[in-house]
A and B are shown apart, each in its own frame.
Chain A
Amino acid sequence: DTGVSQDPRHKITKRGQNVTFRCDPISEHNRLYWYRQTLGQGPEFLTYFQNEAQLEKSRLLSDRFSAERPKGSFSTLEIQRTEQGDSAMYLCASSPRTVLYNEQFFGPGTRLTVL
C-alpha cells in the first residue's frame, strides 16, 4: 500500500490526557498537511511541512497542539491536556510539489473522542 497512512485510526481518551497521532506520507512527497474535521464540517487546515520545516500554522493550532516532522518523513501531531472540544477527525495529507494543480492525497484519518 503506497498511500498515506495514519495511526491510530481511533483514539478514545479522557479529558486532560495527552495524545499523539502519526502520519506516514507517500514516500516521494515533500509536503505534509494536517487538517481537523468536526461533525458536519469540511476539513480545516491546522499546519503543514515542507520536508522537515513547519511552514505555516493555523490560528486553530493552540499552544496545546504541537506537530513535528523529523527528517522530513513521517509526522506526529500531539495534543496536550485534551479537551472535549478537541474531539474530531484528524486528517493528514501529502503532496509532491507546490504547483497549484497538485492534489493532496489524504490518509484515512484518526478519529479522536475526548470523554
Chain B
Amino acid sequence: AQKITQTQPGMFVQEKEAVTLDCTYDTSDPSYGLFWYKQPSSGEMIFLIYQGSYDQQNATEGRYSLNFQKARKSANLVISASQLGDSAMYFCAMREEGNTPLVFGKGTRLSVIA
C-alpha cells in the first residue's frame, strides 16, 4: 500500500530565505513518481515539480527543487528565495506505475513572513 507522510503541519520562513518541506513515502513498487502540489487559499491545486524513482538527478523547476533520497524514501521540497506569494498549503503525492490515482500526504502550511 502506498503512504505519504508529511510531518510538518506548519512552517514559517522569512521572505527571501530558503525553506525545506519534508516528505517521506512508503511503497513496495520499484517504479513510482513523486509530485508536489501547491494549494493557495483559493483552493486550486497547482503542480510544482515531479521526480521519478529511476531519475538519476534531483528535479528542479525554477525556485523549486526536490531533494530525493531514494534509500531513505524521502522527497523533500526546497523552495529558494521565498516570496510572500509562496504562502499556501503544500502537498506531497505519489503514484505507482500502473496505479494512476495520486496518494496525497496531509500537507504542510507554509507562511512567508515579510
Contacts and interface: CB of A to CB of B under 8 A. Distances in A.
Given A33-B101, A45-B101, A93-B45, A101 B33 contact: yes
B47 to A, nearest CB: 4
Nearest to B89: A42
Interface in A15-37: 31, 33, 35
A43 B35 contact: no
Contact of A100 (B31, B43, B107): B31
Interface in B22-36: 31-33, 35
Interface residues of B, number: 26
A7 to B, nearest CB: 14
B46 to A, nearest CB: 8
Interface of B is mostly: strand
A73 B72 CA distance: 41
A48 B45 CA distance: 17
B97 A42 contact: no
B43 A108 contact: yes
Nearest to B103: A45
Contacts of A98: 100
Given A100-B31, A100-B33, A48 B104 contact: no
Contact of B45 (A41, A45, A91, A100): A91
Nearest to B92: A42
A31 B100 contact: yes
Contacts of A45: 101-103
21 contacts: A31-B100, A33-B102, A41-B106, A42-B91, A42-B107, A45-B102, A56-B100, A58-B101, A89-B43, A95-B100, A100-B52, A101-B33, A103-B35, A103-B47, A103-B50, A106-B37, A106-B44, A108-B43, A108-B44, A109-B44, A111-B43
Interface of B: 4, 31-33, 35, 37, 42-47, 50, 52, 91, 93, 95, 97, 100-107
